[in-house]
Chains A and B, each alone.
Chain A
Amino acid sequence: MAFDPKFIRNFSIIAHIDHGKSTLADQLLLQSGAITNREFREQLLDDMDLERERGITIKARAVAINYVLDGQTYELNLIDTPGHVDFHYEVSRSLAACEGAILLVDATQGVQAQTVANAFLAVGGDLAIVPVLNKIDMQASRPEEVKEEILTSLGIDPSEVLAVSAKTGLGVPDVFRAIIERVPAPAGDPKAPLRALIFDSKFDDYQGVVTYVRVVDGVLRRGQKIRLMAGETEYEVTGLGRFRPREVPCDELGVGQVGYVVANIKKLSDVNIGDTITQVPGPAQVALPGYQEPVPVVFCGLFPATHNQFDDLRTALQKLSLNDSSFSFEPETSDALGFGFRCGFLGMLHMEIVQQRLERESNLSLVQTAPNVTYEILTVKGETLHISNPTRIPDPGLIEEFREPIARVNFIVPTDGIGAIMQLCEDRRGIYLKTEYLSTTRAILTYELPLAEMIYDLYDKLKSATRGYGTMDYEVIGYRAGDLCRLDILVAGQKVDALSTVVHRAHADRRGRKLVKKLRGEIERHQFEVAIQAAIGSRVIARETISALRKNVTAKCYGGDISRKRKLLEKQKEGKKRMKQVGNVEISQEAFLSVLDDSED
C-alpha cells in the first residue's frame, strides 16, 4: 500500500558552505529517531571523503524520515544538495524533486553568496521556502541583523524566520512543524501511468547504476518493466527502496515518494538526469520537464607524466565518469606531451576534485595544461567556431572576431572589502554593474567578468582580500567580443603547444614576460643553451635564456663509491624519464604546472 501523499513532504536544505546543512540534516535524522546519538557524530550524508575534506556535498542524496506530528505520521524526504558555486545545476535538479526548501543561514556569518544564489533557484522553481537561522547557540550569532539581511536580499519577512542550533538540537522541532505546515504535499495522480523523475544517479560496483527518483504519478514497483523516456530504453526494476538513512528495500513507491531504483543499467551515461521513468505497457505520453545538461565551462589537457600510460589514464577517466557524468573528456594529441585528453569541467573546483581523484584512485602522475575556457571565434570566412583548446585557435589573420564567455558574478563582502574587490575586478577586465547593501556592514557587488579571468585564482584572491569573509557566486551569461590573442611559448625555437594560452592583448606583454621567466626557473640546464620565448603570431614579446651546462662530471668513483654514484645517476635518469621532450629539450612536469601558477613573484 502506497503512503497517502497528503502526509508526504519533499524538501531540500539549501545553504552556503559551512552554514550547517549536514549538521541540521543529521539532527533531523536524530530527532526523528532514524539514527542514534552516537551516529549523529558522523555526517551521514557526506560519504565521499574528498568532499568531506573540503566540506562540500557534491552528490545529491535522498533520505526518508518518518516523523509524528500531532498523532499523525508523516514521511519527510530530505533531498541533499551540493553547496558550491560550480554545482548550480545539481542544486536545481535536486530542487526539481521537492516542493519546499529549508534556507539555512548561519546566524554568525549572515547571508552569503550561495545563500542568495540557491534561494533564487528555489524561488524560481516555485518552492516553498522555510528560512532558518542556524548556530544561535553561538555567542557571535546576531539573529536580528541576519534577519534584516534576509529581508533585504531575499524579501523574506523576518517573522517567518526560525532560529535553531543544529548542533544542540534547539528549535529543531519547530523546523519539522514548519516543513509539514508550510511545504505543500505532493500533487499527483496515483491512477495515471507512472511518471518518476530521475534527479540523480550513482555507480555502484555491485549493482551497477543506481538512480534516485521521485514518483510524480502512478506507482513504481519492483519487477515492473520501465522505460526511460528520453533514451527510449527499457529495463526491469530489480531493486527498489529508500534510504533511512541506510538502504531499506521496499516493493513499491507511490505518488510523492522518493527512493532508489536498480534496474540492470550498465553505464552511467545510459541514464539522463532529469529523464522520466514510465511504465510499459501503457506508458505516459508526456515526460516531466527535464533539466538542461550541464555544459563544461573550464577545460584543460591532462596527460600522463610517464610515457605509455595513456591507456591507464583512459581507464581511470572512464571509471571516474561512472560516478560523475558531468565532466567530459576526449583524446587529444600534443607535440610536447604526447597522447592525453582534453577534459571539460563545471568549474575550477570541479576540475581540482576530478584531478585529485584521478591521482589518488589510479596512482597516475599527471601533467596538466593551464585551464582555459571555450572561445567563440568568427572567422573572416564567416564561420563561427567554438574552441576549447588554445592550440586550435586560428592565426590572427583568419579571425574576424574573438569572443569569450562572460560571467555575471555576485560578491558578498564586508563593506571595507569593496575597494579591494573592485580593484580585483578592474584588473581582470570586469564591468561594474551594481552594489546593494545588505546592511551597514555588508554588500552585494555585481560585476560582469570574463570567465577566463576568474578561473585561475579569483576565489583565492577574494578570500585573501576579505580576510576570508567574502563569498562569490557566478553564472555564465554569454559570449562577448574581446581584444584577445593566443600567446605561444617557444623553447629552443620550437613551439610548445601545451603551453599556449589565450590572453587579452593589453596583458600579453606582462604575461609573456612572466611566463618565460617562470619557465627559465623550471627548466633544467642542458648541454646546450636553451632560449625560451613568448610570441604572439610571429612576434616575439619576451625572451630568456638558460645557459648551457658546462661541467657535470663525478670526480671520484672508486670501489666504495660505485653503488652510491650509480644510484645518483639512476635518479637523474628517472627524473629525465618523467620529463617531456620538446626537440632536444627536456621539460619537467613542474614546468608545465608552473604556468598555471598565476602568482606574482
Chain B
Amino acid sequence: MTEAISAASTAEPAWQWPRAAYVHVPFCAHKCGYCDFASVAGFDHLADRYLAALDREMADHLGHPREVDTIFVGGGTPTRLAARQLSELTRILGRWLIPAPGAEWTVEANPGTLDDEKAEILAAAGVDRISLGAQSFRPESLKVLEREHGRPEVEKAVAIVRDRFPRWSLDLIFGVPGSSSADWERDLEIALEFGPSHLSCYGLVYEKGTRLWQGRERGEVLPLDEEVERAMYEHTIDRLARAGLSMYEISNFAVPGHESRHNLVYWANEAYFGFGVGAARYERGVRTVNTRDLNAYLRRIESGQPATGPTEELDAEARARETAVLMLRRIAIGLDRGDFRLRTGFDIDDLAGAAIGRYRDLGYLIDDGPRLRLGREGIFLADGILADFL
C-alpha cells in the first residue's frame, strides 16, 4: 500500500474542498447496448462547441485556477475527439486545473479511437494514466454488448499506451449473456498477457432503459445464472491475486501503488469538481449533477447559466453513513474507525453497532479492532450488508 492511498486525514475536512476533478467528454463512435452513461453517437460536429462550453463552465465555476491532486477525463470516449480537439482539451484543463506535484491524470480511451498522435498529445500534456475499455475479447460477448472493436484493436491500443504512460488499466465485463465461466477465464488470461498494472472487472449490469435491458425485458436476452456469475467473480478475485493484482475495491484490482487515486477520492467520500454534460460534483457537502442532455448543457453554459440539475445535501449523520458505505467498498483498507471519526464526527459503532456485530459473527465483516473490512463472503453479498449501515 502506498502513502497516496492510505486513509490519511487532513486538518481541512476532505469532503469540503475538492482536490480532484472529473471532466466528461460524451462523444462515442456508437452507443453500446449496455451503456447508460451520458454518451452520444453521431454528434461529433458539436465537439468544438462542447470544448468551448467546458472552458466556460470551468471559468464560471472556478473563477481562478485550482490545484488538484487528481484529474480524470472520462466519457463517453474522450479519445473520440480529433487530435486537434484533444490538444485543445488539454489546454483548457491546463488553464483551470493545476496538477499538484505528483498528481495523477487519467484519460479514458476506447480501442480503435487511439492513435500515436493522440497519445503523444496526452503524454506531452502530463497525462500519466490511461484507462482502456476492452470489456471482452470474445467476439460473441462483444456482439451482445454491442461493442465495435475486437482483440486486434485492443492489442494495438495497448501497444500505443504501454510505452508512453507509466500506468494504464483495462476495463473488462463479466457475466455477459451467453458466456461461460471458461469464456470469462480466457478473457481474463488474455487481459493478463497484456500486462496491465490495473484492471477493472465489472459484473454486467442491466441498466434501465438500455437496449440490453429492453432485450432482457422482452425475454430475448437471458441473464446468466447467479451461480455462474458468482463463480466468474470468485475466479477473478483469486486469479488476479495470483497475478499480483490485489482487489482494492469491489470491481478494481491493481499492482500495489497503481490504484486509481482519483477513484479512491470517491470511496473516501471526499470532495471533487465535475465538469461537462452529466458530470457530478461534490463540494462542501453538496452534490449536484449536470444535465445529461447535451444540447441543454450547451445552451445553458453558453447563456451563462449553470447546467446543474438535481442537488443533494445530506445532514451530518446521513453523510457519515454514506461515507461508511463507500469506505467499506475498499476491500483492502476498509473503514478505519479513527479516520472515520475524524472525517465524519461519528463513531461507526454508534451508527451501526448492531449490523457490525451481526455481520462480524457471520464472517461477512472482518473487524481487527481499528478497522472494518468486508470478508470474502461479505464481498459477494455487499449490498445487503452495506444497506444496514444507512
* CB contact under 8 A between A569 and B229, given known A527-B362, A555-B205: no
Given the known interface contacts A551-B229, A552-B384, A566-B390, the answer about A557 and B266 at a Cβ–Cβ threshold of 8 Å is yes
Which of A275-283, A347-355, A432-440, A570-578 binds B?
Answer: A570-578
Interface string of B310-339 (1 = CB under 8 A from A): 101000000000100110010000000000
Q: A551-B229, A551-B233 are in contact. Are A560 and B380 (CB under 8 A)?
A: no
Instruction: Judge whether B390 and A569 touch: CB under 8 Å.
Output: yes
Given A551-B226, A555-B203, A560-B280; A527-B390 close (CB under 8 Å): no
Q: What residues on A are CB-neighbors of B387 within 8 Å? A: 569-570, 572-573, 576
Contact with B along A543-558 (1 / 0, CB 8 A): 0000001111111111
User: Residue B272 at the A interface, CB < 8 A?
Assistant: yes
Query: Contact flags (1/0) for B362-390 with A, using CB distance below 8 Å?
Result: 10100000000000010111111011101
B322, A566: Cβ atoms closer than 8 Å: yes
- Mark each residue of chain B from 129 to 159: 1 if its CB lies under 8 Å from any CB of chain A, else 0: 0000000000000000000000000000000
User: Across the interface, do B266 and A553 meet the contact criterion of CB distance under 8 Å?
Assistant: no
Q: Judging by beta carbons under 8 Å apart, are B381 and A552 in contact?
A: yes
Chain A interface, DSSP helix/strand/loop, else mixed: loop
Q: In the complex, A573 Cα to B267 Cα: how many Å? A: 21
How far does the alpha carbon of A572 sit from the alpha carbon of B384 in the complex, in Å?
Answer: 8
- Which residues on the A side are within 8 Å of B329 (C-beta)? 557
- Does A559 touch B at the CB level, under 8 Å? yes
Q: Are B381 and A553 touching (Cβ within 8 A)?
A: yes
Measured between beta carbons, the chain B residues less than 8 angstroms from A563 are: 280, 287, 289, 310, 312
A387 sits at the interface (CB 8 A): no
- Residue among B267, B281, B380 making CB contact with A552, cutoff 8 Å: B380
Which of A551, A552, A572: most chain B Cβ within 10 A?
A: A551
Q: Which of A552, A569, A570, A573 has most B Cβ within 10 Å?
A: A569
Residues of B near A558 (CB, < 8 A) are: 263, 266
Is A559 in contact with B274, judged by CB distance below 8 angstroms?
A: yes
* Cross-chain contact B205 with A569 (CB below 8 angstroms): no
| Option from A553, A572, A573 in Cβ contact (under 8 Å) with B250 | A553
Q: Determine which of A550, A551, A554, A573 lies in contact with B388 in the assembled complex, contact meaning CB atoms within 8 Å.
A: A573
Partner of B381, one of A527, A559, A566: A527
State whether the Cβ of A562 lies closer than 8 Å to any Cβ in chain B: yes
Q: Are A562 and B390 in contact (CB under 8 A)?
A: no
Per the CB 8 Å criterion, the residue count for chain A at the interface is 21
Distance from A162 Cβ to chain B, minimum over Cβ atoms (Å): 63
| B359 closest partner in A (C-beta) | A527
**B202 and A554: CB pair below 8 A?**
no
| A221-238 CB contacts (< 8 Å) to partner B | none
- A526 to chain B minimum Cβ distance, whole angstroms, is 9
Closest A residue to B322 by CB, please name it: A566
**Shortest beta-carbon distance, A549 to chain B, in Å?**
6
Contact of B384 among A527, A556, A559, A560 (CB under 8 A): A527
B176 → chain A closest CB, angstroms: 13
Known: A551-B203, A559-B274, A560-B289. A569 touches B325 (CB 8 A): yes
- Asked, given contacts A560-B279, A560-B280, A569-B383, whether A555 binds B229 with beta carbons under 8 Å apart, the answer is no
**Contact flags (1/0) for B181-209 with A, using CB distance below 8 Å?**
00000000000000000000011110000
Verify B202–A550 contact, CB threshold 8 A.
Answer: no
Across-interface contacts of B287 in A (CB, < 8 A): 562-563
- Could you mark each residue 523-554 of chain A with 1 if its beta carbon is under 8 Å from any beta carbon of chain B, else 0? 00001000000000000000000000111111
Q: How many Å from the CB of A506 to the closest CB on chain B?
A: 40
Residue contact A549 to B384, C-beta cutoff 8 Å: yes
Task: Tell me which residues across on chain B come within 8 A of A550, comparing CB atoms.
Answer: 226-227, 230, 380
B204 to chain A, nearest CB (A): 8
Note all chain A residues with C-beta closer than 8 A to B384.
Answer: 527, 549, 552, 572
Residue of A nearest to B229 (CB): A551
Distance of A560 Cα from B266 Cα, bound (Å)? 9
Q: CA A563 – CA B310 in complex, angstroms?
A: 10
13 A-B contacts (beta carbon < 8 Å): A550-B380, A553-B250, A553-B382, A559-B272, A559-B281, A562-B280, A562-B322, A563-B310, A566-B322, A566-B325, A569-B386, A569-B390, A573-B390
CB-based closest 4 A-B pairs: A560-B280, A553-B382, A569-B387, A551-B230
Q: A551-B226, A562-B269 are in contact. List 12 more A-B contacts (CB 8 A).
A: A552-B383, A553-B250, A553-B379, A553-B382, A555-B251, A556-B205, A558-B266, A562-B282, A562-B287, A562-B322, A573-B388, A576-B388
